[in-house]
Amino acid sequence: MSAPKNTSKKATDSEPVRNTEPRSQNLSEAAKQSQTPFDKDKILTTDTRIAKDLWFRRICVATASASVLILAFLLVSILTTGIPSLSWTLLTSSPEPDPVNAGLWPALMGTLWVCSLCALITLPLGIGTAILIEEFKPRNVIGRKIFHLIQLNITNLAGVPSVVYGILGLTAFVSMFSLFENNDGNMGPRVEIGAIHYDQFSNLASDPFLDTGNTDVRERFFLFPVASRNAAPVVPETGMLAYENRESGLVQVPIIAIDPFSQQPSNDSDILSRTIDQTSAPGRISKKNWYYFRIPFGRGVIAGALTLMLVILPVIIISTQEALRAVPGTLRAAALGLGSTPWQVVWNVTLPSAVPGIMTGSILAISRSIGETAPILIIAGIVYIRSAPQHLMDDYTVMPLQIYNWISRPQEEFHHIAAGGILVLLAILLTFNAVAVFIRHRMQSKLN
Amino acid sequence: MSNAVTTPRCTPRQPLRPTQEPQTSPPTSKMQADKANPSITNNAIVMNNLSSWYGNHQALNSISLNVQENKVTAFIGPSGCGKSTLLRWINRMNDTIQTARATGNLHLRNLDLLASSTDLVDLRRRVGIVFQKPNPFPKSIFENVAFGPRLHMKLKRSELMDIVEWSLRKAAVWDEVKDRLHAPALGLSGGQQQRLCIARTIAVGPEVLLMDEPCSALDPGSTLAIEELMNELRHQYTIVIVTHNMQQASRCSDETAFFFEGQLVEMNDTQSIFTNPTSKRTEDYISGRFG
């Protein structure tokens, strides 16, 4: 019973010995019993194994460095084009037609609004669902089947392309399956809270009755409150009160009726640039409060947030499930054995231990939602947004969309500020990921 | 916290003030204790024809035995013989296993333990369990012991502190941790962690202590500490211990039950079982011939 020798040389040396001694045929039973199943010749030479190991390591290094190199190349090219265009203007101004003054403030704020709202909706939903699936498993067969089906669905939904969610969001949240269409064919929402509607008139005049002391000809805007979006138009007459748009806000002024034909402005674009809303012409406009709410949601912030929720909900559920599963069962047993209710087990033991994992998964999912373009492209469309969102139903744009918009323009200057925008987006994403790493590290060191 | 109003029920049966705590007396021989009080034969736990299954696998087959009050009862037997299963039915920890079910009678005093209407929260307060592997929560030592009382009682900070100190003293770990009550429990040694787990269990004022191989993950020194602790605790608690260690069973227990393949082979007072077993299988097992 000699110990198997471990080197290749010995294996080749013993070759002739085997040939002279045919085994296992003319050996007695006792000899067979004493024989070990280890044949020296069957032992592989170690140098081929070591060589394989070396080559495998080289391949790993090569693939890893390839991805790092590509990333480095991308970063360098973005940095060289983007850094010169990084400026305070880029951060704080609206996307003007002139690339020198253009910025992504509305897109930045749109991203913040949509993604924070998305996180606010998604985190409770996703974590709650994961807790239900992991910690409150039903005991009966039917319940288990249903839970299995839910689990299967969630796993599948995680792999659905986000553009599909965009189409779903368009149907479900933007138009709400057309369930709330007005019968008169007007495009306005069925339910509306927090909006005041006006009829807006413009007047090129120096009117001694309305504006004493200032005699130069200038354009004036008057707003007449109306009952609803679809009310009949107001016809101004002498003696009515209107609101005039001054820089600071709305000021009440008395009206002297003038011949409507004479108040037609000569230059439409001029009016556009100085109208109260800046994007609306004379006509029916509305001023919305911060709590403005409408059904259907339309192409507002809330529809965007809900659509992004569809995209990241499966990711958050699955990562939370993983985090909950990683909590040792002995801790649950200890808490149960002390007389905790299942909810007390979850709240006092399982969740605190799972928080680092949940936070990491959630922040990664949210940073994914920051970078999502396709669903937003479908539900928000490329619209020209000059201001940050003011309420949940406001129009918005997000940074990836703004970058896409700039890149698709022919002028070289826009490509440069697009590179600057990419840098800002990257900075936000990296900050989020750094926060995730920090939280996980902090929580884990606190737990142990 | 449905039990918050029933505070008196939850109070440990020992005085809480550490000054009134009787000093640890040297472990007396259990046989002497038995002879001194031969009349104490109240049954705390009664089981009749208890059978249990995991799915289609029968783990227990018609077990009938009584566990006497304020005594240490040891369950011994080879691996897979069902002793842990039986233990886990006493506080219904088996409910966490989806496929587990049981038939027969299992009563703690007047409480039917197998009824689906049994209040598991109150049951598990009355029947505490200590597991094989020390499993303190990843919290501070104080938080670990305070966990149970906070679930069941509405306490002032000072009252909570009293219970924590009482429990830690009772579990013979107070002197080692009193200066670092707010240090993480996972920083303690294995034996200290296990005694902390015992302190955590008795902090809710249970009547019965179930111990599922409490020393199998510990070194001999910690094992000794826990055995001495059981000797102390047996005056206030009904203790059921599952063990693979024959010496431990003979050292610590008053009664011993030997299980084999889901059946109760023999149950008797410990001395009789170890000196004069009636069954051949028991004799083979305790003499180390199999298992």
Q: Does B98 touch chain A (CB under 8 A)?
A: yes
Which of A144, A338, A340 to mutate to probe the B interface, most B CBs <10 Å? Answer: A338
Chain A hits for B101, Cβ within 8 Å: none
Q: What is the pLDDT of residues A242-267, one digit of tens each?
A: 777 665 567 777 665 544 444 444 44
Residue B23 has a pLDDT of: 41
| Interchain proximity B93–A333, CB inside 8 Å | yes
Task: Give the nearest partner residue to B98 out of A139, A336, A447, using CB atoms.
Answer: A139
Task: Give the nearest partner residue to A339 out of B96, B125, B138, using CB atoms.
Answer: B125
- Of the candidates A222, A212, A228, the one whose C-alpha atom is nearest the C-alpha of residue A243 is A222
Q: Please give the torsion angle defined by the CA atoms of residues A355, A360, A362 and A364, in that order, rounded to the nearest 10 degrees.
A: 180
Q: Does B131 touch chain A (CB under 8 A)?
A: yes
Pairs across A and B, CB distance < 8 A: 64
Report whether pLDDT(A111) > 60: yes
CA atoms A245, A250, A251, A253: torsion sign: positive
Least confident of A222-226, A281-285, B76-80, B228-232: A281-285
Cis peptide before A296 (omega within 30 of 0): yes
Q: Does B152 touch chain A (CB under 8 A)?
A: yes
Residue A20 has a pLDDT of: 47
- Chain B nearest-CA residue for A349: B137
Q: What is the pLDDT of residues B55-72, one digit of tens each?
A: 899 999 999 999 998 899
Q: What is the pLDDT of residues A68-91, one digit of tens each?
A: 999 999 999 999 988 988 889 888
- Of the candidates A211, A207, A210, A257, the one whose C-alpha atom is nearest the C-alpha of residue A234 is A257
Cα A360 to Cα A316, A433, A437, B181, B283, distances in angstroms: 10, 8, 7, 31, 57
Domains of chain A plus CATH, in order, are: 2-67 (no CATH), 88-175+297-447 (1.10.3720.10), 191-295 (no CATH)
Residue A160 has a pLDDT of: 92
Q: Are A339 and B148 in contact (CB under 8 A)?
A: yes
> Which amino acid makes up residue A242?
A
Q: Does B147 touch chain A (CB under 8 A)?
A: yes
Report whether pLDDT(B31) > 80: no
Residue A381 has a pLDDT of: 77
Q: What ipTM score was computed for the predicted complex, to two decimals? A: 0.80
Chain A residues with CB under 8 Å of a chain B CB are: 137, 139, 144, 328, 330-341, 344, 348-349, 352-353, 447-448
Separation between Cα atoms, residue B232 and residue B245, nearest integer Å: 20
Q: Does B192 touch chain A (CB under 8 A)?
A: no
How many Cβ atoms are within 10 Å of A261's Cβ, its own excluded? 6
CA atoms B63, B69, B73, B75: torsion sign: positive
> Nearest-CA distance from B32 to chain A in Å?
33
- Of the candidates A289, A298, A293, A322, the one whose C-alpha atom is nearest the C-alpha of residue A381 is A298
> Nearest-CA distance from B7 to chain A in Å?
15
- Threshold 0.90, pTM exceeds: no
Which of B121, B130, B131, B210 to mutate to probe the A interface, most A CBs <10 Å? Answer: B121
| Interchain proximity B148–A336, CB inside 8 Å | no
Chain B hits for A335, Cβ within 8 Å: 137, 147
Least confident of B10-14, B77-81, B100-104: B10-14
Residue B168 has a pLDDT of: 93
- Chain A nearest-CA residue for B129: A337
Chain A hits for B133, Cβ within 8 Å: 330
Which of B124, B182, B193 to mutate to probe the A interface, most A CBs <10 Å? Answer: B124
Report whether pLDDT(A204) > 70: no
- Chain A nearest-CA residue for B201: A338
How many residues belong to chain B?
291
Degrees to nearest 5, angle at CA B157 with B155 and B158 = 100
How many residues belong to chain A?
448
